[in-house]
Amino acid sequence: MQLAKRLFILFIVNLLVITTISIVLGILGVTMGLGANGYDYQTLAIYCLVWGMGGAFISLMLSRIMAKWLMGVEVIDPDTTDPQLSALVATVHKLATAANLPKMPEVGIFNSGEPNAFATGPTRSRALVAVSAGLLQTMNPSQVEAVLAHEITHVANGDMVTMTLLQGVINAIVMFLARVISFFISLNVKESVRPLVRILVTIVLQICLSILGSMVVMWFSRKREYAADAGGASLAGRENMISALEALQRTIQYQDPRQPESMATLKISGKPRGGFMLLFASHPPLEDRIAALQNMQM
């Protein structure tokens, strides 16, 4: 039940975009309001907001393409004659209609023994919902429908766009702080090498601060999982949603090593984490999600 869990998609791709932007701006001599006495902070803030949001939305536009490539998704022809795949497409379309999506999502399947699914895409009209072969093999039709309902809820709630806006704000803050800090650090080196030092320190700080910022993104991701569980329960039935999560809990020890950890935010569940690492977890513990559904007022 991860969605649109895009860490690689919304974090790694995003990080590469803003780092590339920084390098290009440095080479072109674009100073973002930098003068002899430091930055014009208002000008810098505007630049960082524009470029930070730009980086986040570029990664959003690439999300569906990147997910297909990273996960090896094969899009299913809606007119397929395969009975299992045809039933899968029909279920997604039924749930999409119930969730009032403006356009039917693409439906795909990827080759993994790990029981999982994900949803991604730049808008509610350009979404992709995909399931693993392992999910179809280990879950019954009611459980599969509940998983799909969870993913459709992610799409209906616009989670990808909301996360992109959050990522854009974090990008802007990261770019702003990296440049201000690197300016003061560069004052302690020879004037002849200050521009190079500023560029290098800015890049290093952007990477480090982006990792810290990802904790905020993952916090939001965990919150949205509860909302998607509730939406899945509404569309497919609370008992089916609980049953699906319990099935995932029984198989959580299996994680396909061929699937990138960076895709965790796109799926319905992730690897269990504890302690400090919970701050970087895209999903709450399955037992907490099950308890939330059991206590939910219908």
User: Which residues share a beta bridge with 129?
Assistant: 107, 119
Task: Cite the DSSP H helix spans in the chain.
Answer: 13-28, 41-71, 83-98, 133-138, 141-156, 159-186, 194-236, 238-251, 286-294
Distances from the Cα of 153 to the Cαs of 99, 127, 210, 289, in angstroms?
7, 12, 28, 15
The count of domains in the chain is: 1
Q: Are 112 and 145 in contact (CB under 8 A)?
A: no
User: Which residues share a beta bridge with 109?
Assistant: 74, 131
| Strand bridging mode 34-35 / 38-39 | antiparallel
Pair of tokens at residue 123: 């808008």
Residue 119 has φ and ψ, to the nearest 5°, of: -135, 140
How many Å is the Cα radius of gyration of the chain?
21
Pair of tokens at residue 291: 């308890």
Per-residue pLDDT, 266 = 45
pTM of the full predicted structure?
A: 0.80
Per-residue pLDDT, 22 = 67
Q: Give the Cα separation of 101 and 87 in Å (integer).
A: 19
Per-residue pLDDT, 57 = 83
Q: Give the Cα separation of 295 and 233 in Å (integer).
A: 12
In tens digits, the chain (298 residues) has pLDDT values of 443 344 455 566 666 666 776 676 666 666 666 666 677 888 888 888 888 888 788 878 888 888 888 888 999 999 999 999 999 999 999 999 999 999 999 999 999 888 889 998 889 999 999 999 999 999 999 999 999 999 999 999 999 888 888 988 998 899 899 989 998 998 888 988 988 898 899 889 988 998 898 889 889 989 999 999 999 999 999 999 999 999 988 876 544 444 444 444 445 555 555 566 777 788 898 999 999 999 987 6
Q: How far apart are the first and last CA of the chain?
A: 20
Per-residue pLDDT, 36 = 62
Q: b/e map of 61-70 (b: 16 or more CB within 10 Å)?
A: ebbbebbbeb
Residue 235 has φ and ψ, to the nearest 5°, of: -80, -35
Instruction: Note if 145 is an active site residue.
Output: no
Q: Are 4 and 117 in contact (CB under 8 A)?
A: no
Question: Which member of 151, 191, 239, 261 is catalytic?
Answer: 151
Per-residue pLDDT, 112 = 87
Give residue 122's domain range: 2-294
Pair of tokens at residue 106: 């693409």
Task: Measure the CA dihedral 227/62/210/47, to 10°.
Answer: -110
Q: Give the Cα separation of 156 and 109 in Å (integer).
A: 20
Per-residue pLDDT, 54 = 80
Per-residue pLDDT, 12 = 62
Per-residue pLDDT, 42 = 83
Q: Are 209 and 177 in contact (CB under 8 A)?
A: yes
